């Protein structure tokens, strides 16, 4: 094949196998130098030198022609299975999320460590449009069955949710996605190593850590669940969000403050 073909196969392993390869051999004919030598015994030495020169030129140009074998790759964005150009989406991902925010739920897992160094997994679900924390729960052993139970509790017929965003964690198995589709929810998986595709839920987890878990160390699962329950009330009813105006995900009226009554000894 030649060295250029091996280089192209190394750089474009997916394209070389399917693309039509065009090989162009640039042949350079061996032309003798324009020297006229008269016949005669006195010019015998010059004729031998000229013949040797022409033979060397032929061999060298054959070697040069072999190295000039060019691989022309018609590299374009085609779907090689169907032979058609890939369809370009009509809108960007963030535009799609913005247009369907009220009917979209985003979820993700994160971990918390107790003072006994026990790892606890926390599943959070939020409504993208209102930034409302729809549901959360904690467990030490997350499975697909446990996650499906949480979706059944969070997504019911009272809300008109049509889309669910989650990453490609092994907990979100294929059977779980099939069960969610049976509930009338379309599953949207984020690309590999692209947390920005689920930026709303990632920001929620970051706010939860900065506002709460960075200052508290849970003792066990029950303690962590109680902490998150109190923070959920604070997040939805007292913590203003700049994206909402600033406003609250669960407005209750009045100023953005938390009021409570405490018994004070007389």
| Residue at token pair 């669940």 | 225
Tell me if residue 172 falls in helix, strand or coil.
coil
Residue-wise pLDDT tens for the chain (266 aa)? 545 455 455 555 555 454 444 444 444 444 444 555 555 555 666 667 667 777 776 666 665 655 554 444 444 444 444 555 556 567 788 889 889 999 999 999 999 999 999 999 999 999 999 899 999 999 999 999 999 999 999 987 777 899 999 999 999 999 999 999 999 999 999 998 888 999 999 999 999 999 999 999 999 999 999 999 999 988 888 888 777 777 788 776 555 566 666 776 65
Comparing CA positions, the residue from 168, 123, 174 lying closest to residue 149 is: 123
Is residue 177 a part of any domain in this protein?
yes
Beta pairing partners, 108: 124
Residues 71 and 97 in one domain: no
Residue 228 and residue 101 in one domain? yes
Instruction: Based on the fold, state whether residues 167 and 44 are members of the same structural domain.
Output: no
Residue 165 lies in a domain: yes
Q: Residue for token digits 């925010």?
A: 101
Q: Are residues 117 and 240 in the same domain?
A: yes
Please give the Cα distance from 105 to 165 (Å, whole number).
6
Domains contained in the chain, number:
2
| Domain, as residue range, for 218 | 93-244
Alpha-carbon dihedral angle through residues 45, 50, 51, 53, given to the nearest 10 degrees: 130
- Check residue 145 and give its pLDDT: 95
Asked whether residue 51 is assigned to any structural domain, the reply reads yes
**Pairwise CA distance, residues 26 & 45, whole Å:** 34
CA–CA dist 234, 151 (Å, integer): 23
Global pTM?
0.63
CA 137 to CA 31: how far, in whole Å? 84
């Amino acid at each position: 094949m030649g060295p250029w073909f091996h280089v192209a196969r190394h750089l474009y392993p997916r394209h070389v196998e399917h693309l039509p390869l065009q090989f162009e051999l640039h042949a350079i004919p061996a032309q003798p130098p324009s020297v006229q030598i008269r016949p005669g015994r006195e010019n015998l030495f010059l004729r031998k030198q000229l013949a040797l020169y022409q033979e060397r030129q032929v061999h060298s140009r054959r070697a040069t022609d072999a190295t000039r074998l060019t691989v022309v790759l018609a590299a374009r964005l085609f779907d090689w299975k169907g032979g058609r150009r890939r369809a370009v989406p009509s809108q960007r991902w963030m535009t799609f999320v913005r247009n369907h925010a009220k009917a979209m739920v985003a979820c993700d897992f994160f971990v918390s460590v107790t003072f006994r160094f026990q790892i606890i997994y926390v599943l959070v679900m939020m409504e993208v449009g209102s930034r409302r924390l729809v549901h959360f729960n904690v467990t030490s052993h997350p499975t697909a069955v446990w996650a499906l139970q949480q979706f059944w509790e969070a997504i019911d017929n009272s809300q008109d949710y049509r889309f669910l965003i989650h990453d490609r964690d092994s907990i979100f198995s294929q059977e779980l996605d099939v069960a969610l589709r049976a509930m009338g929810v379309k599953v949207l998986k984020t690309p590999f190593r692209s947390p920005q595709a689920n930026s709303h839920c990632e920001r929620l987890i970051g706010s939860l850590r900065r506002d709460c878990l960075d200052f508290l160390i849970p003792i066990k699962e029950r303690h962590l669940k109680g902490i998150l329950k109190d923070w959920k009330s604070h997040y939805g009813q007292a913590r203003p969000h700049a994206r909402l105006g600033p406003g609250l995900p669960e407005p209750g009226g009045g100023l953005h403050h938390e009021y409570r009554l405490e018994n004070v000894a007389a």
